[in-house]
Structure 1
């Protein structure tokens, strides 16, 4: 179709090897949605700083994703890019930096993620005073929320609009907040905002109990999966590895084995984009079939692995699913 140049290019040129795996995974994603099944996307790495929001926000708008699992870094870094984009600095020659040059970046308040430096003052501190007020107001009102719910409240309040430096339609967190998209953020405590929240707790200005925990995320996810999987299961589209993927995928064996709900359906689609070495006990590099032995995937679950760079692959798959 002439109206779908990206999809046409992929169909005509991505015919073998990892390129063909990308096409198979994208077609499998579309088929999954056509069968009226829901999809989870997990975000590891620094995909928000890589501006995945340009395609992921549209996936959210068009209801091509129904729940997101992400690291605390991806949760906050999309908002940081939203409010401080003009202050980011790109370092194309990052491989050549000396320890002294790295130290110089630190002293300038520039925290490096590969070739991109996040501006600490404009990003972290611009958000901090506003999110602290939301944390404190909730605590004073006896509320307890999940990390992402506080950020949704921040974005939906409109208070951050004065700082926007990109078109908000390219922020996946803005779109997620609008829809109150279901989300889990395992290990949020190791993020910058998690560290900031902990510092307030250490100083006695906030209570740790104001923030709901990872165990409560798992309990919530168990209910969500049970309510939404029906007998079809949910799809699982994993970008990278680590806790963003491992945490949510474990909900199925927990329900089946620990809760003894033997009618719980397995995840009904699985795709992982990863360049991790497929060996040596690595979860990120585990082939999908290994997940059968853990009670996560069924024998017949469609399984795909694209061994490549997620910053290249994910936008292409999303573009294909969206018909771009």
Structure 2
């Protein structure tokens, strides 16, 4: 019997041969659905919770952005800033493989060294956080003096495109730089609870920034998202629809998916299409009482997805799953 050659590179062929059942099959189906959605003329909206930037998701996500496989992103403030932290301070990061065995005293020792731990990775405060604080504070103050206002991601776009940062990784592996170069639409709800959000608050309290509204906030992000979705999701069925690819749960996913019922129910715009594809990667325990653990069908009752919307859920670690899906979509 002659073997039919499979399309794609080595990773794609490995997935097609080995990923046949359970979560592995869901991963493969979701990647195929992602590609089919794009092939029909759809666009993809990606949401990102968790610590994916510190997990260096930029190694694959940056290329997804460059190749036009991701058209807009909603992420937490932590993911927004941690990609930049990694870009400028990667050589000072420390990995702690035995993080499960750390005692409270071990954790205190890391704090004393200004090493902030995210699972098995410690972010160096002085080399990463304070360095970026100095760069972004100058942008905040310049906008404040000029009476201008920008979103959190726009300030970081300006810093990245300004070319003043010394980088310690290949810039091609920074997903935020790839997004900045394409001026990708970005939405960062709840930015205030991020490290830079805390720093901004401190500078407002100390008087370094006079107008607290120099950095635009969540309601304005939702207005901007409503404008983007309305302009992008044409009422054309599958063709031209907007897909929703969700990494993790929480505000990064819940905030943007609500734009559709808001447009329908609060603005009474009946011609706005539902999301045209949905996939969530989550290691949350399936639960009908939680957002992160709810199955996709529950979103039908909230006016977010329809009966015919392609729906996928992969119950696994996103730091493993997302790069594999991106690799298949990219044909690696």
TM-score, structure 1 length as denominator?
Answer: 0.98
After superposition, give the CA deviation of every residue in 1:92-113 in whole Å (9 maximum; x if it has no partner). 1101100000000000010000
Q: For 1:132-152, what per-residue CA distance to the aligned partner results, in whole angstroms no more than 9, with x for missing partners?
A: 011111111121000000000
Matches within 5 A, 1:146-157: 146-157=151-162
2 CA distance for matches of 1:128 and 1:305? Answer: 37
- Equivalence map 1:166-205=2 (5 Å): 166-205=169-208
Quickly say closer, same or farther: Cα 1:158–1:81, change in 2 above 3 A.
Answer: same
After superposition, the Cα gap between the structure-2 partners of 1:224 and 1:100, relative to the gap in structure 1 and judged at 3 Å, is same
Quote the residue 1:8 is aligned against. 13
Tell me the residue number matched to 1:318. Answer: 326
Aligned position for 1:120: 125
Whole-angstrom CA distance in 1 between matches of 2:8 and 2:136: 42
**Which residue number corresponds to residue 228 of structure 1?**
232
Distance 2:173 2:267 in 1: 40
SS at match of 1:154: helix
User: Which position in structure 1 is the counterpart of 2:56?
Assistant: 51
Which residue of the partner structure matches residue 238 of structure 1? 246
Cα deviation, residue 282, structure 1: 1.5
Pairwise CA RMSD: 0.9
Number of positions where the alignment pairs a residue of Structure 1 with one of Structure 2: 322
4+ residue stretches of structure 1 with deviation over 6 A?
A: none
- Deviation at 1:3? 5.8
Q: Residues 61-104 of structure 1, C-alpha deviation per residue, up to 9 Å, x if partnerless?
A: 00000000000000000000000001000001101100000000
| Residue matched to 2:136 | 131
Counterpart Cα distance in 2 of 1:273 and 1:43: 10
TM-score by length of 2: 0.96
Structure 2 stretches lacking a partner, 5+ long: 1-5
Deviation for aligned residue 1:233: 2.8
* Cα gap change, 1:280 to 1:288, in 2 (>3 Å): closer
In structure 1, C-alpha distance between the alignment counterparts of 2:212 and 2:311, rounded to whole Å: 40
Structure 1: 5+ residue stretches without partners: none
Secondary structure at the counterpart of residue 111 of structure 1 = strand
Q: Specify which of 155, 163, 167 is matched with residue 164 of structure 1.
A: 167
Q: How far apart are 1:53 and its partner, in Å?
A: 0.2
